[in-house]
Amino acid sequence: MNHTPDRSRTRRKFLKMLGASPLIAGSGVLAGCLANLLHAAPSEEKQFLGWLENLQQSDDVISSPDQALDVMDFEPAARKAIPPAHFGYLATGVDDDGTVRANRDGYSRIQIRARRLVDVERIDISQSIFGVKWNTPIVLSPIGSQKAFHPDGELAVARAAQSKGHLMLLSTAATSSIEDAIAARGGPVWQQLYPTNVWEVGQAIIKRAEKAGSPAIVLTVDLQEGSNRETLFRSQRLDKRQCSACHSGAYSPFARGKPGTSGSGGFAGFASRKPMFDGLDLSKVTALHAVNMDWDFVKRLRDTVTVKLLIKGIVTREDAQLAVQHGVDGLIVSNHGGRAEETLRPTVESLPEVLEGVGGKVPVIVDGGVRRGTDIFKALALGATAVGIGRPHSWGLGAFGQAGVEAVLEILQRELRTIMRQAGTTSVEKITHDYLVSRPS
């Protein structure tokens, strides 16, 4: 009797179970290998499983920032240093993390056309946004609760941003205030905005950020309540710590309807460790993200915000056109690093139609899946003004604090200079679509 079909089904079941592990799901590299392995021959399967066993038994994780060869080296170091549930929060996507992987894979479908015999002795990677010149086009995207990764949290990130000359965005759900972040940065920090379901609360956050000196408010529109973050939920099961001190309210904006997420503290308990909510009346707030937001809300916001107003989370031509019509000053093409919804569409593939929608009237930043200097080059060549990174700088933070963030930025700067020199482009403005070609399907 031929048992091959039974063995095949067993193999696929085992590999899918393996893929549910936070060790695998939290790593784009491992998850991608596993996805390919589901269609691999038995000999390839055996080779991969042997490699995985060696990996699990190895202590070959970098112990200092200078040992890193690329930004991905910081991921296992951060996993080793950060508690399981906290790392799961950082690593998670939606459902089976397909959009997380898609963001990364999108860049692999774009090739670079390199020109020769160009004088590339001097390379200028600076970029201007709203008339302000930054050392690089690399933006530190907003990440919430960064003290869950390192005691210095957002302040370490701000100091690294100052050291390397980068623009930083601060999350509404940050564990440091806008005032402290600007002080640590020694300069302006953009304020990301979750307006909640109560207008007065969002308005108060805006006014506080403006008073502190933030030159831009970035409304996030791509994240709704109830994301099915399976990698996060699985990692929480592995974490045996007593977390009541940090999560007194047990409110979770990411797990509506999931058993065990209600708590007497409610939203106020969740916000108690988020300084941007200090002193505000949260009695009527039930959601971090206003699920009833529409373009009338954007108009009202435009009439309220006195600094630059950007929208983060736009991924279509139609919405880009509407944003410009409503007086928005800039856009960030983003799907929240694959943790907003399981569309399986990478942001780098959304970027061209968003750029078409704005028609050059406002700057466009893109984030999601950026891990290499070549990724930054490709996004800039497509027409992005700047490129955001989220997980990579948080890996550096979790592993080594400020020094880790600085090392991540140094690596990306170095890689960007290298590909610019190799491709024959001496400044960011000279990186155009002429340097790209899509990989044949």
Q: Which sign does the torsion angle of CA 116, 380, 68, 335 carry? A: negative
150 catalytically annotated:
no
DSSP codes joined into one string, 380-401: HHHT-SEEEESHHHHHHHHHHT
Q: Yes or no: say if 163 and 414 are a contact pair by the CB < 8 Å rule.
A: no
DSSP 8-state symbol, 439: P
Residue 130: phi, psi to the nearest 5?
A: 55, 40
Report phi then psi at 364, rounded to 5: -130, 125
- For residue 271, the Cα-to-chain-centroid distance in whole angstroms is 21
Catalytic residue among 150, 166, 336, 393: 336
* φ/ψ of residue 327, rounded to 5: 80, 20
Q: How far apart are CA 180 and CA 130, in angstroms?
A: 23
Q: Give CA–CA dist 82/87, Å, rounded.
A: 6
Measured between alpha carbons, how far is 249 from 315 in angstroms, rounded to an integer? 34
Buried b (16+ CB within 10 A) or exposed e, 122-131: eeebebebee
- The radius of gyration of the chain from alpha carbons, rounded to an integer in Å, stands at 22
Instruction: Please calculate the CA angle 275-171-131 and round it to the nearest 5 degrees.
Output: 120
Task: Write out the catalytic residue numbers.
Answer: 336
